[in-house]
Amino acid sequence: MRTEVLELDNRYGSEYVGVYLFQEITWAKRSRIIQRHTKYHPITGQVTSSDFVTIQAESIIASLKKQPENNPITLQKLLGEEEGIPIELGELFSKIANKLCGITPDEQHFLSEPSEEGNRTQHSQNTASARNSESSLARSEESQPRISKPSS
């Protein structure tokens, strides 16, 4: 599995100084994280909402294999709204985890937007069956007996 080492200076604060080791996570692990934080419509199966922040934070934690001994990165810290990590550091961790875990920009967009934004299903370009049914209908109308009006 691919890995990436990140060595931080005190740019983000002295508590984050040190070496971080990120490792690619498995497809199954990534899929389970996404499933756990995505809600689907019970009938159509369409995505109704997803907690992209939690998906991203859990992906970072899952891929973070080593960090400084004081363990400055926790799931609670990544998700913290008041006592969280600096934005730039979170973005850096996200970029590394996404690169290693194969989350593409399209997936990021899909996970961060409601499915009602637009229909992502492509329509078939093949209209031959529609044309065939129209011509069959026309032929059947032609073969029907016609009633003529008596002339006066």
pLDDT at 101: 81
Q: What is the 3-state secondary structure (H, E, C) of 58-98?
A: HHHHHHEEECCCCCCCCHHHHHCCCCCCCHHHHHHHHHHHH
* Full-model pTM: 0.66
What's the CA angle centered on 114, arms 80 and 82, to 5 degrees?
10
Query: Which residues are registered as beta bridge partners of 144?
Result: none
pLDDT at 111: 54
With cut-offs at 50, 70 and 90, classify the pLDDT of residue 18: very high
| Closest listed residue to residue 34, CA positions, set 22, 47, 21 | 47
